[in-house]
Structure 1
């Protein structure tokens, strides 16, 4: 049974992870002249290099704690939770905007809750159904409000056609599916391997992700068929690698470390709710980028999201 203090510690780690992960929704806007494949490859190549540097002094000790089965798990976790997820996300944001993308991915509490319903320490669906449905209502409101704002504002990304909007929705749903699989698998592996710290698990994930991202380097940076994207000068590449490096450090290494601690401290039925904080911070950063206040619909949606998480946490505290 999870104690009340453990739940609060897990909540704090989840909030910090969300604050750092929300940054990634701005990257497609800061690097809109680069392709989604280039953004994913750049971020995760640097994530891998930095992880190797940080693990190097302790590599012998850490590597002895990981067997062949765990390396295979890290391979799939890296592919799902990093490369596939981020390519879909980076493709969706320019097409439908940051708020709509972040809120579609905000369906994660629902998808994770359904996957976790049979876990031993998860709350029964009947106890957490109402708060989760409240979060769903917030998601529906924000997606509708974001679409109306996008249509009315020239400062927001405007799909050139209905097909672009549909494609953006499909990319966001693909990111949701990849992150659901990652979240469930990662939480279960962390619970099965308590001898590996959340920080080391994040760095090991980074090593594998970096190796996978190297395979993306050739088509991302050297394939001449990057249609629709202009050639880049030296200062463009400096901006690109600086932003990718910042995201690798703060969102990947530090943010993943916070998330792994939250996933280990919280039941899976509650850890899925923590993704709401990524959504909320992504919305905040989007509003700051667009120099606007949230609309009434967006404000109510965020209230519903936060209330849903706190309600769900209260149910778990009562159980504890």
Structure 2
């Protein structure tokens, strides 16, 4: 429950910190994550020992692009489409990853997944259409549409992150999860510059 509540802050924080922007929030959030990751590397379990240069660079890139790209897209979605639609769109993440996982491993017959997936997709489409119809003027329609597009961009970034991260973790002699997360935290902190 605590994890879900903290995850939900992604959709509340951008509106709660006005006049600060999503970029300001991302800089603060991921600078703290980066610094905490470096500090935690004082403990042996968090040190990236045994992780080669190439996998280390992959982890740093995942931390930079995955965390920051996702957060900026999600925060922009909340800013332009409101706080209700983005969690519903981004909430498709477990479904999307399940489809990708089943596509690669074929654990379930697609016929068993067809009805639940169709219902989820129909629900998301109805919510998005309702949000656009509820927007008053044309300019607001465009703003809501842009916000919905940002929500789908956040979903795409996190799907790519999840697939690439899982692949790296499954590799033979894959990295220790704490050290891998620490390197990603360093990556998220390294690219914090105010544009």
Normalized against structure 1, the TM-score is what? 0.53
**How far did residue 56 of structure 1 move?**
1.9
**How far did residue 114 of structure 1 move?**
4.1
1:34 aligned onto 2:20: yes
Change (3 A) 1:76 1:193: farther
**Among 161, 176, 180, the residue aligned to 2:155:** 176
Aligned partners of 1:88, 1:98: CA distance in 2, in Å?
13
What are the superposed Cα offsets for residues 57-96 of structure 1, whole Å, 9 maximum, x if unpaired? 327x732131123113213321332111111111111111
Aligned to 1:21: 7
The aligned length equals 195
Change (3 A) 1:122 1:211: farther
Secondary structure at the aligned position of 1:102 is classed as helix
Aligned to 1:103: 88
Secondary structure at the aligned position of 1:27 is classed as helix
Change (3 A) 1:87 1:53: same
Secondary structure at the aligned position of 2:76 is classed as helix
1:94 aligned onto 2:79: yes
**How far did residue 42 of structure 1 move?**
1.4
**How far did residue 160 of structure 1 move?**
5.2
**How far did residue 151 of structure 1 move?**
4.3
In the TM superposition, structure 1's runs of 4+ consecutive aligned residues that sit over 6 Å from their partners are none
Residues 127-276 of structure 1 mapped to structure 2, 5 A cutoff: 127-147=112-132, 151=135, 161-192=140-171, 196-213=175-192, 217-219=193-195
Note the aligned Cα RMSD (angstroms): 2.8
Change (3 A) 1:88 1:195: closer
What are the superposed Cα offsets for residues 279-305 of structure 1, whole Å, 9 maximum, x if unpaired? xxxxxxxxxxxxxxxxxxxxxxxxxxx
Aligned partners of 2:139, 2:145: CA distance in 1, in Å?
11
Structure 1: which 5+ residue stretches go unaligned? 1-14, 153-157, 220-320
Aligned partners of 1:87, 1:197: CA distance in 2, in Å?
28
Change (3 A) 1:193 1:199: farther
Aligned partners of 2:138, 2:42: CA distance in 1, in Å?
45
> More deviation in 108-117 or 95-104?
108-117
Normalized against structure 2, the TM-score is what? 0.83
What are the superposed Cα offsets for residues 121-164 of structure 1, whole Å, 9 maximum, x if unpaired? 7434333232222322332343345556x648xxxxx9953222
> More deviation in 48-57 or 72-81?
72-81
Contact 2:34 2:186 in 1 (8 A): yes
